[in-house]
């Protein structure tokens, strides 16, 4: 945490101090919550620099009306020399106008904090585990995984920037039936590598060509020892090798997107360590697991459905629609049974958990939240647990939806898309919609190099700034903070927008909504482009002014700080701030 308070935080403190003073003199009753007191820029800039609703929120507990309370607050605020004016407006808003020098100081703060501008310690080092991607290790990543990957990664960066101790985690589902299918598919490729004519890949196995090198590696390691052997002899050998190969593929895909997890947690290892059994034992002691019969499914009833007694987790106690089995009738763990143990273990090693899931898993949110809630209840310390659902992305090409079918192997891989349009485009585009809303990803639109495309628009603003610096250097001009007083009101207006960056990062982190950063950067870029163009009509508004080197130095310093904020924001999103376009 820096010792330089950014401007909105500083004024929030000043207003808070006034409220404390009013409390001390008895105008406000003691110990009234100020949680709802906001200190933010008003929507309409003509209202001033900072607005607070303090009088409206606190009028009722103070047993007075908003305007009367506002009068008293304003009286205190006016004693502050940096506050040029404090006015009461509307139902009781207090609008403040800040002295110009305060904004000048803010430009310097950006300059001295540099890449640290916008970072804060509000998270107080609390440990947050963010689990994202967690794609099944049965093949390369496809576009269905992309949105969650980007949103999760940007969210992790955002939490890191706000002073949380973040663990980026990937849960590897390497214990279920699908990895047996993977091993069988690899066995076919293994026989193929030994020279056998295997023909078409059998129905139900993974047909993808990405398993060919896996088959070759198995042939090199084992020779023809297992080519005709029964499955029981080779399955346990082939499975971990195939999974490891798939995880290598997936890690390479993630690297293309600029994503690197800290922890890859293996479901198989979790089971081998007996964690689900431990969880079951503990839950039985709590009366939260019992042997019972599952209800008949509500929707279409499967033809082979019959009632069986299974160990059930009492998730209905925590709001789920029905209790959920943790083991199958053959005694092996269900996906949920292992996942439950996994989450309970995560919860014991973190102060808060976040999972990023695809919307197709929405139906399982309640049961897993129930599991974490059960742990919290049992241990007496609830662990905040948030499941963020990212909605489907519809791929579009030439105005037509791109069809994907995983079973046939006909899916658009993440790597192909990144190769086609670039990492920056993929990442930024995934953040240009709030995650809970569905989105289209149109190949034609996202590569368009125009203002229709937010990535280019923002990157262009940064490139323009870099270009200006290069050009200025040719003219013998350099950024300087010596004559910042010479800046005009229009110059300072740009600072006011840049100054919102720290509070935006904070609120985006708190709301766990990284897309807000993307929208903010678009706005900041727009303000910069407008600022820039003003110099086309009126040469006195240009940044490079050879006839006024002091003002030019100040403007260069200002513009450099705008570039700094854009760079910081893009950094959070994992998008490159290009210097030339």
CB-wise, 219 or 559, nearer to RNA?
A: 559
Rank residues 25 and 269 by Cβ distance to RNA and give the closer one.
Answer: 269
Query: Measured from the CB atom, is 197 or 405 closer to RNA?
Result: 405
Measured distance CA(448)–CA(429) in Å, rounded: 12
Q: Give the DSSP letter string of 147-207.
A: HHHHHHHHHHHHHHHTT-EEEEEEEE--SSHHHHHHHHHHHHHHHHHTT----SPPTTS--
Decide if residue 336 touches RNA (CB under 7 A): yes
Q: Which of 81, 125, 199, 299 forms a contact with RNA (CB under 7 A)?
A: 299
User: Using an 8 Å Cβ cutoff, are 116 and 95 in contact?
Assistant: no
Contact 408, 162 (CB under 8 A): no
Task: Note whether 431 and 515 are within 8 A (CB).
Answer: yes
Which residue among 361, 406, 496, 549 contacts RNA (CB under 7 A)? 361
Number of residues that bind RNA (CB under 7 A): 96
CA distance 180 to 242: 10
Considering only the stretches 97-105, 340-348, 354-362, 412-420, report the one whose residues sit in contact with RNA under the rule CB under 7 A: 354-362
Residue 407 touching RNA (CB under 7 A): no
User: Of the two residues 232 and 536, which places its CB atom closer to RNA in the complex?
Assistant: 536
Residue 570, C-beta contacts closer than 8 angstroms, at least 6 positions apart: 458, 459, 462, 521, 576, 577
Residues 124-183 close enough to bind RNA by CB under 7 A: 136, 173, 176-178
Pick from 306, 398, 400, 476 the residue near RNA by CB under 7 A.
306
Out of 273, 392, 444, 473, the residue judged to bind RNA by CB under 7 A:
392
Q: What strands, in cross-sheet order, belong to the sheet with 324-325?
A: 289-293, 309-313, 324-325
Q: Which of 515, 557, 562, 566 binds RNA (CB under 7 A)?
A: 515
CB 462 within 8 A of CB 580: no
468-497 residues in contact with RNA (CB under 7 A) are: 468, 471
For residue 23, how far is the Cα from the chain centroid? 39
From 25-33, 257-265, 276-284, 294-302, span contacting RNA (CB under 7 A): 294-302
Q: Does 44 bind RNA (CB under 7 A)?
A: yes
- Minimum CB–partner distance for residue 216 and RNA (Å): 26
- Taking CB under 7 A as the criterion, the residue among 203, 330, 398, 400 binding RNA is 330
- Closest distance to RNA from the beta carbon of 257 (Å): 21
Residues 50-79 binding RNA (CB under 7 A) are: 51, 53, 56-57, 60
Residue 580 interacts with RNA (CB under 7 A): yes or no: yes
Q: Is 444 strand, coil or helix? A: helix
- Rg, Å, the chain Cα set: 29
Rounded Cα gap, residues 365 and 356, in angstroms: 11
Binding status of residue 421 toward RNA by CB under 7 A: no
CB of 525 to RNA, least distance (A): 7
Residue 60 beta carbon to RNA: minimum distance, rounded to whole angstroms: 7
Instruction: Output the CA–CA distances (angstroms, integers) from residue 44 to 48, 85, 95, 156, in the order listed.
Output: 8, 16, 11, 33
In whole angstroms, the minimum distance from the beta carbon of 276 to RNA comes to: 12
Distance CA 517, CA 155 (A): 10
Length of the chain (residues): 581
Tokens 């839950």, located at residue: 283
**Distance (Å, rounded) from C-alpha 484 to C-alpha 35?**
36
Which one, 379 or 451, has the nearer CB to RNA?
451
Under the binding rule (CB under 7 A), the answer on residue 203 touching RNA is no
Residue 367: closest CA among 300, 330, 312 = 312
Q: Which stretch binds RNA (CB under 7 A): 38-46, 100-108, 115-123, 222-230?
A: 38-46
């Amino acid at each position: 945490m820096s010792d330089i308070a950014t401007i909105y935080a500083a004024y929030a403190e000043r207003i808070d101090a006034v409220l404390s003073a009013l409390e001390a003199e008895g105008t406000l009753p003691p110990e009234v919550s100020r949680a709802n007191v906001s200190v933010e820029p008003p929507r309409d800039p003509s209202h001033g620099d900072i607005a607070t609703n303090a009088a409206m929120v606190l009028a009722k507990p103070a047993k007075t009306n908003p305007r009367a309370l506002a009068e008293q607050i304003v009286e205190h605020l006016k004693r502050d020399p940096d506050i040029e004016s404090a006015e009461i407006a509307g139902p009781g808003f207090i609008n403040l106008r800040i002295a110009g020098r305060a904004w000048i100081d803010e430009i310097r703060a950006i300059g001295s904090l540099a890449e640290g501008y916008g970072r804060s310690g509000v998270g107080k080092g609390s440990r947050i585990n963010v689990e994202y991607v967690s794609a099944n290790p049965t093949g390369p990543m496809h576009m269905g995984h992309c949105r969650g990957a980007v949103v999760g990664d940007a969210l992790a960066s955002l939490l890191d920037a706000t002073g949380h101790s973040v663990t980026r985690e990937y849960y590897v589902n390497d214990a279920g039936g699908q990895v047996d299918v993977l091993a069988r598919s690899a066995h076919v490729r293994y026989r193929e590598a030994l020279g056998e004519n295997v023909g078409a890949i059998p129905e139900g196995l993974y047909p993808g060509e990405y398993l060919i090198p896996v088959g070759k590696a198995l042939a090199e390691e084992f020779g023809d020892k297992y080519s005709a052997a029964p499955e029981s002899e080779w399955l346990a050998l082939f499975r971990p090798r195939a999974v490891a190969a798939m995880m290598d593929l997936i890690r390479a895909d993630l690297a293309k997107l600029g994503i690197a997890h800290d922890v890859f947690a293996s479901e198989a290892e979790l089971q081998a360590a007996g964690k689900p059994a431990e969880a079951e034992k503990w839950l039985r002691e709590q009366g939260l697991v019992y042997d019972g019969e599952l209800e008949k499914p509500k929707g279409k009833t499967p033809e082979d459905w019959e009632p069986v007694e299974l160990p059930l987790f009492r998730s209905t106690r925590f709001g789920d629609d029905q209790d959920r089995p943790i083991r199958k009738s053959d005694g092996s763990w269900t996906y949920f049974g292992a996942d439950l143990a996994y989450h309970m273990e995560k919860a014991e090693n973190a102060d808060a958990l976040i999972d990023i899931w695809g919307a197709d898993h929405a139906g399982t949110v309640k049961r897993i939240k129930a599991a974490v809630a059960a742990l919290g209840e049992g241990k007496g310390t609830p662990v905040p647990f948030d499941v963020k659902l990212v909605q489907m992305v519809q791929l579009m090409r030439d105005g037509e939806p791109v069809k994907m079918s995983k079973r046939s192997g006909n899916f658009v891989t993440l790597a192909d898309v990144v190769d086609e349009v670039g990492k920056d485009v993929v990442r930024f585009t995934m953040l240009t919609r709030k995650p809970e809303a569905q989105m289209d990803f149109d190949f034609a639109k996202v590569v368009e190099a125009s203002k229709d495309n937010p990535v280019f628009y923002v990157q262009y603003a940064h490139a323009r700034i870099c270009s200006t610096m290069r050009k200025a250097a040719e003219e013998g001009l350099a950024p300087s903070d010596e004559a910042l007083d010479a800046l005009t009101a229009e110059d300072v207006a740009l600072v006011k927008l840049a100054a919102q960056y720290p509070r935006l990062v904070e609120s985006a982190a708190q709301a766990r909504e990284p897309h807000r950063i993307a929208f903010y950067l678009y706005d900041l870029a727009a303000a910069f482009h407008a600022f820039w163009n003003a110099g086309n009509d009126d040469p006195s508004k240009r940044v490079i002014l050879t006839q006024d080197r002091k003002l030019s130095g100040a403007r260069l310093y200002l513009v450099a700080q705008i570039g700094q904020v854009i760079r910081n924001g893009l950094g959070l999103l994992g998008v490159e701030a290009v210097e030339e376009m």
